[in-house]
Amino acid sequence: MSISGDEFDNLFSTFQREAFRLETLDDYTGSSNPESVRAFLAGESQPADYNQDWVDEVRGNVESGKRMYRVHIVSRPLTPYLRFELGWGYAKNATAGEEFFILDTTDQPNPLEGIPDFWAFDETSVVTMKYGDGGVFNGADLEPAATEWLRHRDTALRYAVPFAEWWERYGTE
């Protein structure tokens, strides 16, 4: 069932314990600020207020005892967009307490092939996300049951490594 942007946004302020995200794409440029992507790729410094609304939301949730974490499925070499997302986005969001993990499929099969991006809130509500060409966000669906999606979360976490560990090893490739 499709949900509105406001209904989706509301889940980030109403969840009680945890919010998990699976990211599967290597390009979300169409859903990003093109000036930020351009600045990163040009080697410019990250603006102090980059992504500040999300950072504030994460910090508020984490400080109130909630967990926010995600797994991103990637394959090396990283796309220019992924270098941007991981280099600027993940590094800054982690300062607010968001946890990141990488499931690298460069040297192993993808155990979640065909699974779309999703958010799971409190292990009860799951929202799958729809994307078009170039990572343009096209809306979200509230799934009728969470069980299958929680199995996908567990699989992702089983094969993933902490972002900081992965980034130290592969971030400059």
- What's the pLDDT score for residue 13? 93
Q: SS3 for the chain, per residue?
A: CEECHHHHHHHHHHCCCEEEEEECCCCCHHHCCHHHHHHHHCCCCCCCCCCHHHHHHHHHHHHCCCEEEEEEEECCCCCHHHHHHHHHHHHHHHHCCCEEEEEECCCCCCCCCCCCCEEEECCCEEEEEEECHHHCEEEEEECCCCHHHHHHHHHHHHHCEEHHHHHHHHCCC
CATH class of the domain whose range is 2-170? alpha beta
- What's the pLDDT score for residue 120? 98
- What's the pLDDT score for residue 173? 76
- What's the pLDDT score for residue 48? 92
Domain ranges of the chain: 2-170
- What's the pLDDT score for residue 39? 96
Which pLDDT tens digit goes with each residue over 86-135?
999 999 999 999 999 999 999 999 999 999 999 999 999 999 999 999 99
Q: Report residues of the chain scoring pLDDT below 70.
A: none
